[in-house]
Structure 1
Amino acid sequence: MPAWETTGLTLSCHPPVPDHIALPWDAADDYLLTRVEPLDTLTINDRHGALSCALAARGMDNINWHDSACACEATRRNHHNNQLPLTGDRLILDKDQIPSTVRQVLIKLPKNLEQLKYWLQCCRERLPADTRYLLAGMVKHMPVSWLNWLEQEAVTYRQERVVRKARLLELTFTPAVKETNIWRGYQTATGLTLSGLPGVFSRQQHDIGSRVLLQHTDLPFAGRLCDLGCGNGLLGLTLKQAHPELNVILTDDSWLAVCSARHNAIQNKLDASLNHGDILDGVEGQLDWVVCNPPFHDGHKQLTNIAERMFEQSAAALVSGGHLLVIANRHLPYAGKLRNEFSKVEILSSDSRFSVYLCQKR
């Protein structure tokens, strides 16, 4: 387990990632710790709980707002391994759980501006004007257009010098009126109306990969089907619409994705079970089908480990003779991994961008 020299903490990533690819902290975390003040603090996008652990080691009370089930688990593990306190109410999933006592917000910059705008809007709805905001990230991930937008929105804006390729901003904002309509969406060719919350994959348009996979709705789907990494629920709900007898489970690592999928199931009057968890955590019993459009990014890093864990856990959860249906970018090296996990792997379709794999369990 790598040691964070600045703090003396030993931290790990969850799910595990080789140290040469990513550590649980970076230079932006170090930079934030040089500017933090002893105030009631909210951390956002603290992927592995590094900031939270560092603040707890200083005796500072802090709230951790995570969207990801993996991030929640990483935070718990790193607190436990460093013998640091972490009570259940220190981990929150929903904006309505942000305590009004918070006076300092630490944000690691996300991959997209839409997500950042959402976090800031939620904080401004609940926190007073004297709240201090510290935003940090690596320079290569902070476009000038983002900096310009933040400077226009903020009441006060200070940009610190770049340190070890990391940039830090200190800002204050006026309180904001609650946003009444944050849903964005589209209608599918089969008549489903799908919406999503900020940060949910393919929130405003039907992504190309899912279109390709859904050309195969005529497969003999039956029994219990899990839409793994469901996003807004597009795959699972479309298959439920085409095969009403299916028992559909929608699960995702993202809390906002699960909320979006639940909203869409209700709006389209389709019965489905919802689950928030890491891969298949929390999905009980065996499955007849798993469908997925696996991610190959974790934040700014392109990785295949998330998809590989999806394949492994799907193989374990499927009944004998059960099937996994996967859509993947053609350049990704998934075929070998799938053949290691499944007795039969068939490429149903392939073009210059995507391949659709139908895999059967031994």
Structure 2
Amino acid sequence: MHTHTPASLILNRHTELLNQHTIIFAGDIQDNFAAEFKQSKVLTSQFHHAKRLEKNGIDTVYKAIFDKLDVEHATLLVYYWPKVKEEALFQLTQLLSIVNEQTEILIVGENRVGVRSIENRFNDILTVQKIDTAKRCSLYYAKLNTVPKFDIENYWKSYSLPNGKMHYALPGVFSRDHLDSGSRLLISSFIPEDKHTPKNPKHTLAFLTTPQLKADVLDLCCGAGVIALALHEHFPNLTWTLADSQAQSIESAKRNMNEINLQAKIIASDILSEIEGKFDMIISNPPFHDGKQTDYAITERLISAAPKYLRDFGALRIVANGFLPYETFMQSAFGNVEIIAKNTQFTVYQSVKLR
């Protein structure tokens, strides 16, 4: 028996309508409901969802920005509303700008993440009617009144980092509006004069005392690349690989690295799934929420697999909310763990591959 999200369960009550169409499924798709419709395609900005969908034989396109070829022949767009409203507006506007004007539209999502805002967000573009509600979700039917114009330049947000570098990010990217406290603490743990210098420089590759050091660094769950953006000036000889699952993060990281002329390798990856080779250091500010629920499964996978991707005496350094059990996970995976920096909310942990 298939496990469907509440949003898909409400859609399942309308299969008579769905079966009449060639369907584009898009948005926050977390199950394989699309597989039940032969004439369907999924557009997703989440790499881990794309790999799962492809594995289940579903025609899938992974991108941050979709084009007319991606929606060609579609007569119905089914959009799953994500938890970040700005991301929903970004994705839905671009999709509405490329679908055929006669395309029918279904918009579905959980009430708690704001799907009901569709009732007044697109008044000049869509005629919207709520057609169902169940399982704390709402389903809307819509038709285009006017094809909107979409210009990605209107969706970039920027702010200045403490080092003066500008940070650019698209909707849905973590820390888009300001430098978050966790990343700020993680960045500060690399500053040479920082008072939290680790006790054993050998076990940290002397990162905090030799700015000329040449080393290979992997930033997992990189977001817009804020860590590399902040550290490149201090450590210009590091070779960076940045990885994230979200397509908007990948595009944002590319822009930020171009802005500082840093030739980083930027990869879409489900944690370490697409990573090759070994590194001297892995850095991460990993997510610990799935919607509004605490979920550290991603970080547990990252920590357990990290030793395989580190050279001898290579280090894993992560920042986390202090209540999370990452210190225990790192001790189990590496046999050692050290607190590098700490404040009232966050802790920076480091483990070293000693064998």
Structure 2 stretches of 5 or more lacking a match?
Answer: 193-203, 208-213
Question: Aligned ranges for residues 311-350 of structure 1 at < 5 Å?
Answer: 311-350=303-342
Distance in 1 between residues matched to 2:118 and 2:247, nearest whole Å: 28
2:290 counterpart residue number: 298
1:116 counterpart residue number: 88
Q: Deviations over 1:114-170 (max 9, x none)?
A: 1110111111211133222211123333365x2443463553111134223322111
1:27 counterpart residue number: 6
Percent identity over the alignment?
A: 24
Aligned match for 2:160, one of 157, 176, 187: 187
TM-score by length of 1: 0.85
Residues 43, 51 of structure 1: 8 Å contact kept? no
2:243 counterpart residue number: 251
1:120–1:243: structure 2 CA closer, same or farther, 3 Å change rule? Answer: same
Residues 297, 303 of structure 1: 8 Å contact kept? yes
1:208–1:48: structure 2 CA closer, same or farther, 3 Å change rule? Answer: same
2:77 counterpart residue number: 105
Q: Which deviates more, 100-109 or 209-218? A: 100-109
| Root-mean-square deviation (Å) | 2.0
1:55 aligns with 2:26: no
Question: Aligned ranges for residues 257-296 of structure 1 at < 5 Å?
Answer: 257-296=249-288
Q: Between the two structures, name the one with larger relative contact order (CA 8 Å, sep ≥ 6).
A: 2
Distance in 1 between residues matched to 2:121 and 2:308, nearest whole Å: 46
1:107–1:299: structure 2 CA closer, same or farther, 3 Å change rule? Answer: farther
Distance in 2 between residues matched to 1:183 and 1:46, nearest whole Å: 21
Distance in 2 between residues matched to 1:141 and 1:195, nearest whole Å: 25
How many angstroms does 1:99 deviate by? Answer: 2.5
Aligned match for 2:129, one of 158, 163, 184: 158
1:352 counterpart residue number: 344
Distance in 1 between residues matched to 2:312 and 2:91, nearest whole Å: 44
Distance in 2 between residues matched to 1:92 and 1:272, nearest whole Å: 21
1:139–1:99: structure 2 CA closer, same or farther, 3 Å change rule? Answer: closer
- Which amino acid in 1 is paired with 2:234? A
Residues 241, 270 of structure 1: 8 Å contact kept? no
Distance in 1 between residues matched to 2:292 and 2:49, nearest whole Å: 15
Distance in 2 between residues matched to 1:142 and 1:53, nearest whole Å: 26
Residues 279, 313 of structure 1: 8 Å contact kept? no
Q: Matched residue of 1:242: which SS? A: coil
- Which amino acid in 1 is paired with 2:23? T
Aligned match for 1:241, one of 218, 228, 233: 233
1:198 aligns with 2:171: yes
Distance in 1 between residues matched to 2:260 and 2:247, nearest whole Å: 20
Residues 339, 347 of structure 2: 8 Å contact kept? yes
Structure 1 stretches of 5 or more lacking a match?
Answer: 5-23, 80-85
Question: Aligned ranges for residues 82-231 of structure 1 at < 5 Å?
Answer: 86-87=58-59, 90-93=60-63, 94-96=65-67, 97-142=69-114, 146-150=117-121, 152-173=123-144, 174-181=146-153, 182-217=155-190, 218=192, 220-221=206-207, 222-231=214-223
Residues 322, 347 of structure 2: 8 Å contact kept? yes
- Which amino acid in 2 is paired with 1:30? L
1:26–1:91: structure 2 CA closer, same or farther, 3 Å change rule? Answer: same
Q: Deviations over 1:215-240 (max 9, x none)?
A: 12237334110011110001123222
Aligned match for 2:26, one of 44, 60, 67: 44
Residues 32, 106 of structure 1: 8 Å contact kept? no
Residues 294, 307 of structure 1: 8 Å contact kept? yes
Residues 92, 98 of structure 1: 8 Å contact kept? no
Aligned match for 2:48, one of 67, 70, 84: 70
How many angstroms does 1:193 deviate by? Answer: 1.4
How many angstroms does 1:300 deviate by? Answer: 4.2
* Count of paired positions: 328
- Which amino acid in 2 is paired with 1:68? Q
1:20 counterpart residue number: none
Distance in 1 between residues matched to 2:24 and 2:219, nearest whole Å: 32
Residues 226, 236 of structure 1: 8 Å contact kept? no
Distance in 1 between residues matched to 2:175 and 2:111, nearest whole Å: 26
Distance in 1 between residues matched to 2:251 and 2:75, nearest whole Å: 28
Residues 186, 195 of structure 1: 8 Å contact kept? yes
Q: Deviations over 1:227-274 (max 9, x none)?
A: 111100011232222111111101111121111101110111112111
- Which amino acid in 2 is paired with 1:184? K
2:201 counterpart residue number: none
